[in-house]
Amino acid sequence: MIIRIDEYSDVPIYMQIRNQIVMGISSGELKAGEQLPTVRALALEIGINTMTVSKTYQMLKNEGYIMTDRKNGARVRENIAQSGVISEDNKTELRRIVSEARLSGVPKAELKKLIDEFY
């Protein structure tokens, strides 16, 4: 899986990587149990510091998306906990996006099509 960093983005690098890995797991590009690159390998590949990648992995681990052990590196978790609900933050963020889209004249159907595409 290829990680792309937008260096001009307001989103911190460690968060950009985190988001792309989460989307990769959801889309199936990263499968349950699949090995992630080592902290050093990913840092080298992207051209950033190992600390930054390390921060990403620790975040993903805390969120329950991946597991890390010192022997095998990081792997996608087999059993990701399912709360069944959308977080309040994501709900608010979704509302903001829908509002902006509506004001831009984007039809509701267009948004639902994106849901179908991304889900």
Partner DNA sequence: GTGGTCTAGACCACG
* Shorter beta-carbon distance to DNA: residue 9 or 26: 9
Residues 29 and 8: their CA atoms lie apart, in Å, by 26
Question: Which of a copy of itself, DNA, none does residue 38 bind (CB under 5 to 8 Å by kind)?
Answer: DNA
* Helices and strands per DSSP (H, E), number in the chain: 5, 2
Residues 72 and 38: their CA atoms lie apart, in Å, by 9
39 binds DNA (CB under 7 A): yes
Runs of H (alpha helix) within 47-107: 50-62, 88-103
* Shorter beta-carbon distance to a copy of itself: residue 40 or 113: 113
Question: Which of a copy of itself, DNA, none does residue 98 bind (CB under 5 to 8 Å by kind)?
Answer: a copy of itself
Please report where in the chains the tokens 């930054």 appear, as a residue.
52
* Number of Cβ atoms within 10 Å of the Cβ of 16: 19
111 binds DNA (CB under 7 A): no
66 binds DNA (CB under 7 A): no
Residues lying near DNA in the complex (CB under 7 A): 12-15, 36, 38-41, 48-52, 54-55, 57-58, 61, 68-74
